[in-house]
Structure 1
Amino acid sequence: MPTISMFYGIIIRMYCAPKEHNPPHIHVYYQDNKAIIDINKVELVEGNLPKNKLRLVLAWVELRKEELLADWELAQNGELPFKIDPLK
């Protein structure tokens, strides 16, 4: 699962496998916390993150939604997704 972005100790990854289950989502890791974020709805689907880190991730997803969806399409075709600029 390639890392597509990292910021403030948060690691963002996306599975790169044909026919990965919908809806489009990312996997987020922060210390011992794991979460799955729905890209279209910009919301937590599974897991947990500290509230301040969750807010950062959701803001980043909102800003980078088009790039994330483009990466999702690549991943669905078994291609490696592009790196996406971190939250600054």
Structure 2
Amino acid sequence: MPEVSRFFGIIIAMYYNDHTPPHFHVRYGKQKAIIEIETLSVLEGKLKPRTLGLVIEWAAQHQAELQRNWDLARQQAPLNKISPLE
């Protein structure tokens, strides 16, 4: 699973040829979640409120880049790194 960003110990990744809707995977310690790109809603898993807040803040700033990476992943193309939350 290619890592596309990392900040404050939070890892953001995407799988190639993953199921729809377009989404990304989040790991932080033992916490894991899948977040839909368009709505920024949690599809699966659970994150603590502070972690989820940071992830949503980051994703809102990078929605277009996340969607481009989703499209690349569907084509089996290399994914672009996305700037971390600062």
Higher relative contact order (CA 8 A, sep 6+): 1
List alignment gaps of at least 5 residues for structure 1. none
For residue 43 of structure 1, what is the aligned residue in structure 2? 41
For residue 31 of structure 2, what is the aligned residue in structure 1? 33
Q: TM-score, normalised to structure 1's length?
A: 0.94
Q: What percentage of residue pairs aligned between the two structures are identical?
A: 44
Segments ≥4 residues shifted beyond 4 Å: none
Distance 1:29 1:21 in 2: 18
Distance 1:7 1:71 in 2: 18
Distance 1:35 1:53 in 2: 11
Distance 1:42 1:74 in 2: 19
Q: TM-score, normalised to structure 2's length?
A: 0.96
For residue 13 of structure 1, what is the aligned residue in structure 2? 13
For residue 60 of structure 1, what is the aligned residue in structure 2? 58
List alignment gaps of at least 5 residues for structure 2. none
- Spell out, residue by residue over 1:6-63, the C-alpha distance to the aligned partner (whole angstroms, 9 max, x if none): 001100000023xx21110000000001100000001111101111010000111111
